[in-house]
Chains A and B, each alone.
Chain A
Amino acid sequence: MSGLAFAPPRFAVDRAALVARLRAVLPEDALRVDEEALRPYECDGLTAYRQLPLLVTLPENEAQARAILRVCHELGVPVVPRGAATGLSGGVLPHPDGVVVSLARLKNILAIDPATRTAVVQPGVRNLAVSQAAAPYGLYYAPDPSSQIACTIGGNIAENSGGVHCLKYGLTVHNVLRVRGLTIAGEIVEFGCAAPDAPGYDLLAVANGSEGLLVLITEATVRLTPKPELAQVALASFDDVTRAGEAVAAIIAAGILPAGLEMMDKKATHAVEPFVNAGYDMDAEALLLCESDGTPEEVAEEMARMQAVLAASGATAIRVSQNEAERLKFWAGRKAAFPAVGRITPDYLCMDGTIPRHSVGRMLQAIADMERRYGLRCANVFHAGDGNLHPLIMYDANQPGELERAQAFGAEILELSVEFGGTITGEHGVGVEKVTQMCAQFTPDELALFERLKRAFDPAGLLNPGKAIPTPARCREYRLARLATAGERGTPCCAPAADDATHDVWGDPADGASAPGDATKTEGSR
């Protein structure tokens, strides 16, 4: 099988001594040492990377997790926190010299308080389980990644995961009020609190999206949202993807903030329809799903406005869900997009760039061009309201060279995202997958700050090492390779920091006196 190499910094670890120390602090079945018991832990959702850990631990409570960290810290052993391993960037890929700490057994919901609309949960609680437990109170947990049946709150926080309702209800970072966790030294820390605006720096914000590099999360307080009385979704067909992209901008420009705003291209709908029979329009080049929620009066008002904008933007057909069953059916196709594509190709890579909404059309054309150049197919699914793309690049790992071509294809999409003023990852994280592209998005000085920030939490550099932040050596290699191959398409990394090509803000005519009229420089709604 063709796989990819993970080459993290190495640590000299005496395995036998480590096992003895861990045995002394853990119950028998909280420690896995045999190769066959370690095998299930060798990868996450990004299966192209696999690595056996030195050991796996499964603490039952915070005290055991703390004991594990203290031993590892004292012996200088790397630690990789693990939730449900649905991650798509290799965040839980084991370290060859390290201990995996699985939070799977910390799965209790400790409290649900309808008056403060909060839930206190352990990190191994599944995302959907929070909403299920809150349902009797008319509440739910808003961030809903498509993996919500399986993924855990700890993993959601570590990745700052999004869902199809982020545009209106926010990402994980907007819905977590407090994180309790352990530093690598085993100290208990709390970021945020039950009240607003905890004193000091906003460490809670930094814990969100920290990919297991700063803190091992052992408990969280999350915000619950009242269930809207009604939700309705409009399914709009377009005969041109660019026009669909423009419709997205037009909806926002009209002052509407839909509860969900998603897009699928023809390749995606054709993969999905036979799988879930969502009733999608198979002739459309692109489909938009626009959801409205609230009181029945609110939904009626917003739906009417939304349909008017969609029609004016050139939708060839619009269907509005007439009941809850139909609404769920329309969404089922979108939520099953990844597995559906998984059925029509042996393997696929899921990209996660985010771009300004107005460049969606240009990006889709560029991807179509890349499909021809790389000789691979790509289906496009995205959180259109947020400009977050999920191109699914299809390949066959058993065909020599296909994985490498798929990777190069993906890298080009991500670099183009940066060029368009966006980012290489909107919600899946950097992990091991996009470490190299970090060199395209950030300058060496910026990456050095990330490294110093990490060391402020983890001075010894033992929490999930080798992920998320590239080493300076890796970026030098990357830049040399780019200089050799890229030709005229300069990468921001090669430019001096202040003149960074992706942020061309100098010398604009509105210097000083900015008239709101001409301030609209990035023409979103032509």
Chain B
Amino acid sequence: MKAIHDRWCERVRAAAADGRPLRLRGSGSKDFYGQPLLPGSGEVFDTREYRGIVAYSPSELVVTARCGTPLAELEAALAAQGQMLAFEPPHFGPQATVGGMLAAGLSGPRRSQAGALRDYVLGVRLIDGEGRALSFGGQVMKNVAGYDVPRLLAGSLGTLALVTEVSLKTLPRPVAERTLVADLGEGEALRRLAAWNALPLPLSASAWFGGRLSLRLSGAAAAVASSAAALQRELRAAGVAVGHLPEDEAAVFWRSLREQTHPFFSATAPAGDARQFAAGVVGAEPLPLWRLALRATTPPVRPAADGAEPASTTDAPGGIAGGATGTTLIEWGGALRWRRDGDPLALRAAAAAAGGHATLFRGDAPLKSAIGAFAPLPPPLAAIHRRLKNAFDAPGVFNPGRLFREF
């Protein structure tokens, strides 16, 4: 492994010297994410040879793995010890790597309860743009020596450094888990989620789609049972139909959100066609996927330029007016809203008005190039970003233009 590491440092130094950009890539599962990869975005630098779990001590709640380690392998090692990555990172492919997970910085359904990927990053080792091997943070829970570089790298999409090793905080798996489903319209679902949010309920995930609200409760057996009973009582008293999903069905459902294999994400694309799907293509017609991160209490979003809303997203009694389809899927207690429709600029404006931002998560290259995958930064922040890029990668070798076109 040391030989690989040395070779990598050398390769980065050579690329820097020649002014040749490198495109860091684990398995490419997140190639669709961020700015489009245009020709000339660099020679592919495959990280998968540098793999393996370096240290895992369940009683320290810390695992350290090399960047090329398959995420599936890491999660299996934790599961064998009754632990997990609490932020439920999406894989988006069987080969997804730990380095790609960190660089993409994405979190799954449990985020609203357990926190984001960045909340679990304790340490990183990296190679900077001039081929220097550096180490920040470590394997301990609390560490304020120097700036928090490990968290800064989470979500940086490989534009700052080549991450070679990551230390993550692990957590015990919840003892018990239970999923409730209730028939509710969008507005009513959002109102109830907001009210529950202020209570000490063990709500570990929520999702609303097509007139149905799904709630996952996780924790101590007694707490899950009593909270589930309380929620069911409350909903039934309001005349809402409520039931629960069998354990295996529930696991499949939450995984389908985490991995975006749920019909909402793929109904319009031919099954198994990852390339078409990644590009959001239906036949010849592009169908973008928007990710709106908002203040959780924001009422249903109806961007001005968006014309008529489909019936399923309105607040009809019983809520299932549009059947099991719809153009909005809500997660994270209302803070995350996926959309398959809407005018790009109107969505961006609506998100900003709701204290948040809209990401073009999947979309074709021309659209992404035109409006940017991520909401643009205000000028003082953009200036800090450019200088940070320069601080880590002065020669500009890593993933130029992947996060924002400008650097």
CB within 8 Å of B: which residues of A? 113-117, 137-139, 159-160, 162, 166-167, 170-171, 173-174, 183, 187-190, 193-203, 205-206, 208-210, 214, 226-229, 249-250, 252-253, 255-257, 294-295, 297-298, 300-302, 354-358, 383, 385-388, 421-430, 434, 438, 441-443, 445-447, 449-450, 452-457, 459, 468-469, 497-498, 500, 503, 505-508, 510-514, 516, 519-525
Contacts and interface: CB of A to CB of B under 8 A. Distances in A.
Interface stretch (B144-152, B235-243, B253-261): B144-152
Contact of B73 (A190, A354, A454, A514): A514
Nearest to B112: A196
A468 B148 CA distance: 13
A457 to B, nearest CB: 6
Nearest to A517: B80
Interface in B370-387: 374-375, 377-378, 380-381, 384-385, 387
16 contacts: A174-B115, A195-B294, A197-B105, A197-B293, A198-B357, A201-B155, A297-B223, A298-B219, A388-B142, A427-B144, A453-B391, A456-B390, A506-B2, A514-B73, A514-B77, A525-B58
A426 B134 contact: no
Contacts of A196: 111, 116, 293, 332, 335-336, 356
Interface string B140-176: 1111111111011011100010000100000111010
Contact of A514 (B52, B133, B378): B52
Contact of A456 (B58, B136, B357, B388): B388
A170 B152 contact: no
A255 B84 CA distance: 11
Pairs of residues from A and B, 7 with the lowest C-beta to C-beta distance, nearest first:
A195-B356, A297-B222, A194-B355, A205-B151, A524-B59, A452-B391, A456-B387
A499 B96 CA distance: 29
Interface string B38-76: 000000000000011111111111101100010001001
A144 B107 CA distance: 27
Contacts of B53: 510, 514, 516, 519
Given A202-B152, A301-B222, A453-B391, A446 B295 contact: no
A205 B148 contact: yes
B141 A524 contact: no
Contacts, number: 332
Nearest to B356: A195
Contacts of A525: 58-59
Given A117-B197, A446-B135, A203 B145 contact: no
A442 B385 contact: no
Given A114-B198, A196-B116, 13 more contacts: A189-B378, A195-B335, A197-B107, A205-B148, A252-B59, A252-B61, A423-B144, A450-B147, A497-B132, A507-B2, A508-B52, A514-B54, A514-B65
Interface range on chain B: under 10, 10 to 19, 20 to 34, or 35 or more?
35 or more
Contacts of A456: 384, 387-388, 390-391
A249 B69 CA distance: 27
B161 to A, nearest CB: 9
Contacts of B61: 252
A193 B199 CA distance: 23
A512 B51 contact: yes
Contact of B140 (A356, A498, A511): A356
Contacts of A442: 145-146
A56 B72 CA distance: 56
Contact of B80 (A173, A453, A516): A516
A226 to B, nearest CB: 4
